[in-house]
Amino acid sequence: MTRRDRVRESLIGWRLASRLAVPRSRKGLAEALVTVLAVALVIAAFGWSWGLGAQLSERQAVLERRSPVWVEGEAGSLVSLDTYVTLSGELTVYRLGPNVGGVDLPGSMAWPEPGSVILSPGARAARSSDQYVDALTRGEQAGTVPDLVLREPAEMVAFVGEDTADAAGPGYRTVSGFGAPSVTGFVEDVTPAQARGWGLVLTVVLGAGALSTLAAAGRLGGAARERRLAVLDLMGCSSPTIRGAMMITAAVQALAGVAVGLAVAVFLTAVGWGPHLLGVRYWPVRVGSVLPQLLILGAVVVALMAVWGAALPGTGALGTRRRAPEGRPSYVRLVPLGVGSVWLASVAAVTVRTRETGPGWTEALLYLFVGAVCLVGLGLVWASPVLVRAAAPLVSRAGADGLVVASRAVHFVRGTARIGGGLCVLILSGAVCLGLFAAVMGPERGSGRGEVAVVLPGLSVSPRSEVSRALAAAMSSPNLAGATALRGSGELEDIAGLGDLRLGDQEYRVLMAGPGATEIAAMTVSANGQPTVAAPLTFNAAGEHVRLLLAGSVVVGAGGCVAFIVIALVLAMVTLQQQHVHADQALLHLGMSRFRLGRLRAAEVSVAGLPAPLLAALAGMAAAPLIETANGESAGSGPWSYVWLLAVPVAASLLLAGVAWLTVPSADRIEVRRD
């Protein structure tokens, strides 16, 4: 064949391929749309969650920008930094003695004179309505804290100018400037390490879910393209031509998906749906800041889909190749599951040991644990063809239907097993999601109503309702070195918070009463015999903030992952049903009733969907006591959790089986055969 012939051939091939690659039927369009939507969903999900992540790190940057750089034992500008929790929200107060040595404030603010104060817009607004804020930020307003130094638009921050006498008190330290490389002196919400760790977990978890959706969509689209392009093979087109056509179709669909996804991400952030999700107000999300990463992700996804699109078809006899049953899956597939199980067991065992000597979970162990769980999940997915293959003979003994079910399950064993693998991962990630959520949001057991002692030095108790007054006074006293409040207790209705307070050299556990508290002994602080401030306090929202952030990441990461896997499962179901469409038709024409065929399809999905999840449930039952011991508590265990472990996979596969049953085709749709 001369070179010209070859060029001619491939030109003709391309013309044909490009014609066939464009879906024309409604079904073909729907299949193409699946790829577009799957890619769009992935891009949008990452755009949105990365946008939130960028915001979080921006918050962190703000905090660093205004962190004092402390220096020990030198003469210089004296500064104290306190965080108070008021009914109007968290208030951060910098008290600044006279400026020695020209220290610059963050955001190029002018250093306040004694008796004057620089307020953020939020603090200024709160001052007129909240006595407490007013008392803590007393002074003539000398300026406004710029946005650059605020973590969120409404944050309350005050820079209060003090004279030399005031700044001599405890709690003041020398600073050389602002802009410490790490956050210092704040009641921190999230440490940078925590933020990075969660970001990583979020990306990995979301990524795994996204990958499964993309793979499922790719497979469905690939099968559709293969059906349409198989004829090219018979018409004598060369394999590179066909592959090229497949690849380009897949890539074009993926590109369309990326475009739609970007638009959705921009829209989501533009309408400001993101900022309020985590229960905290933020500066608006700027997708622009993550656009480069998103574009890279988009390119990777397009490349991935193109490669998958081209990898699916074989050469030669495309149309008939798939009808022979797939080979027996190799037992090598069991290896990752085995390794993962051993790893998981070791982590649990090590944790039990460290529990005996101390902390139980450490961060390293947690990551190892997450890794092991991921490997077990993947291992189950990989092993499920072997499991389905092993389960099939058990079913084939159950009458004619059993034989058909087993034969069908084994025929496309990989496609069938995907249902089981998908269910496994779904249940696993669902459980992890719920577990994390419960761990983050779970109520912290507080002390009982009568046990709480409010102890402050030199206090006299007079009238009982004065407790909040007393605390406010204590906290705004210049002797206050730092106040770190813990989480409020849900069990104490009228107690809004519980905190640790350091006054001089002594630490006290403090109870902060809500506005309605009457029964608890109330005390009055008197430095000079008189309370200085009177205002109700609320509990510290700092811990709350961490909780909400973590809960938010769980929702975004694990919830997103679960959603993606559900989509992947649905796509896998659709693909499987399409593979069986001819057989379904043949059985109907043979005289099998639709009811019976429905039952058969349901049984088939059960054979596909039960073995791996059941195995996972059994493994979970074995592992649960270990994990509980490691946790040092047996909350939520007992026979019911075992029932749940079994019930969830059974219910999930029954649900899928129901779907398979209800979507039985009808006998007279005979045009299917000739599509």
Ligand X SMILES: Nc1ncnc2c1ncn2[C@@H]1O[C@H](COP(=O)(O)OP(=O)(O)OP(=O)(O)O)[C@@H](O)[C@H]1O
- The contact set with other proteins (CB under 8 A) reads 320, 322-325, 399-400, 403-404, 407-408, 410-412, 580, 582-583, 585-595, 666-668, 670-671, 673-674
Which of ligand X, other proteins, none binds 407 (CB below 5-8 Å, type-dependent)?
Answer: other proteins
Q: Which is nearer to other proteins, 258 or 404 (CB)?
A: 404
Which of ligand X, other proteins, none binds 593 (CB below 5-8 Å, type-dependent)?
Answer: other proteins
Minimum CB separation of residue 228 from ligand X in Å reads 19
Minimum CB separation of residue 290 from other proteins in Å reads 47
- How long is the chain? 675
User: From edge to edge, which strands make up the β-sheet containing 77-86?
Assistant: 68-70, 173-178, 77-86, 89-96, 156-161, 116-119, 140-144
Minimum CB separation of residue 667 from other proteins in Å reads 5
User: Which residue's structure tokens are 């087993």?
Assistant: 406
Q: Which is nearer to other proteins, 142 or 403 (CB)?
A: 403
- Using the Cα atoms of residue 390, residue 396, residue 397 and residue 401 in order, give the sign of their dihedral: positive
Which of ligand X, other proteins, none binds 668 (CB below 5-8 Å, type-dependent)?
Answer: other proteins
* Region label for 89, one of left (φ > 0), alpha (ψ between -120 and 50) or beta (otherwise): left
Which of ligand X, other proteins, none binds 399 (CB below 5-8 Å, type-dependent)?
Answer: other proteins
Helix (H, G, I), strand (E, B) or coil at 76: coil
Q: Concatenated DSSP letters for 388-454?
A: HHHHHHHHHTSHHHHHHHHHHHHHTHHHHHHHHHHHHHHHHHHHHHHHHHHHHHSPPP---GGG---
Minimum CB separation of residue 580 from ligand X in Å reads 20
Q: Which is nearer to ligand X, 445 or 674 (CB)?
A: 674
Cα–Cα distance measured from residue 446 to residue 440, given in angstroms and rounded to the nearest whole number? 16
Cα–Cα distance measured from residue 115 to residue 88, given in angstroms and rounded to the nearest whole number? 23
Minimum CB separation of residue 674 from ligand X in Å reads 7
Minimum CB separation of residue 673 from ligand X in Å reads 8
Q: Which is nearer to ligand X, 451 or 671 (CB)?
A: 671
* Tokens coding 462: 């007079």
Q: Which is nearer to ligand X, 11 or 670 (CB)?
A: 670
Q: Which is nearer to ligand X, 505 or 671 (CB)?
A: 671
Which of ligand X, other proteins, none binds 673 (CB below 5-8 Å, type-dependent)?
Answer: other proteins
Q: Spell out the residues 6+ positions from residue 390 whose beta carbon is closer than 8 angstroms to its own.
A: 611
Q: Spell out the residues 6+ positions from residue 235 whose beta carbon is closer than 8 angstroms to its own.
A: 16
User: Which residue's structure tokens are 């709160």?
Assistant: 126
Nearest to 652 by CA among 419, 423, 396: 423
User: Which residue's structure tokens are 């897949």?
Assistant: 250
Minimum CB separation of residue 20 from ligand X in Å reads 21
Q: Which is nearer to other proteins, 228 or 580 (CB)?
A: 580
Q: Which is nearer to other proteins, 251 or 592 (CB)?
A: 592
Which of other proteins, ligand X, none binds 3 (CB below 5-8 Å, type-dependent)?
Answer: none
Which of other proteins, ligand X, none binds 666 (CB below 5-8 Å, type-dependent)?
Answer: other proteins
Minimum CB separation of residue 669 from ligand X in Å reads 9
Whole-Å CA distances, 141 to 80, 84, 159, 207, 280: 19, 20, 10, 50, 27
Which of other proteins, ligand X, none binds 457 (CB below 5-8 Å, type-dependent)?
Answer: none
Contact in structure between 564 and 213 (CB atoms under 8 Å): yes
Which of ligand X, other proteins, none binds 72 (CB below 5-8 Å, type-dependent)?
Answer: none
Q: Which is nearer to other proteins, 68 or 415 (CB)?
A: 415
Contact in structure between 361 and 631 (CB atoms under 8 Å): yes
Cα–Cα distance measured from residue 462 to residue 467, given in angstroms and rounded to the nearest whole number? 9
Minimum CB separation of residue 665 from ligand X in Å reads 14
Widest pairwise Cα distance in the chain: 108
Q: Which is nearer to ligand X, 296 or 672 (CB)?
A: 672
Contact in structure between 531 and 461 (CB atoms under 8 Å): no
Minimum CB separation of residue 56 from other proteins in Å reads 52
Cα–Cα distance measured from residue 296 to residue 300, given in angstroms and rounded to the nearest whole number? 6
Q: Which is nearer to ligand X, 27 or 286 (CB)?
A: 27
Which of ligand X, other proteins, none binds 605 (CB below 5-8 Å, type-dependent)?
Answer: none
Which of ligand X, other proteins, none binds 362 (CB below 5-8 Å, type-dependent)?
Answer: none
Minimum CB separation of residue 604 from other proteins in Å reads 10
Nearest to 601 by CA among 401, 456, 427: 401
Rounded to 5 degrees, φ, ψ at 174 are -80, 140
User: Which residue's structure tokens are 């693998």?
Assistant: 421
Which of other proteins, ligand X, none binds 324 (CB below 5-8 Å, type-dependent)?
Answer: other proteins
Minimum CB separation of residue 276 from other proteins in Å reads 51
Q: Which residues bind ligand X (CB under 6 A)?
A: 670-671
Residue nearest to ligand X (CB): 671
Q: Which is nearer to other proteins, 165 or 324 (CB)?
A: 324
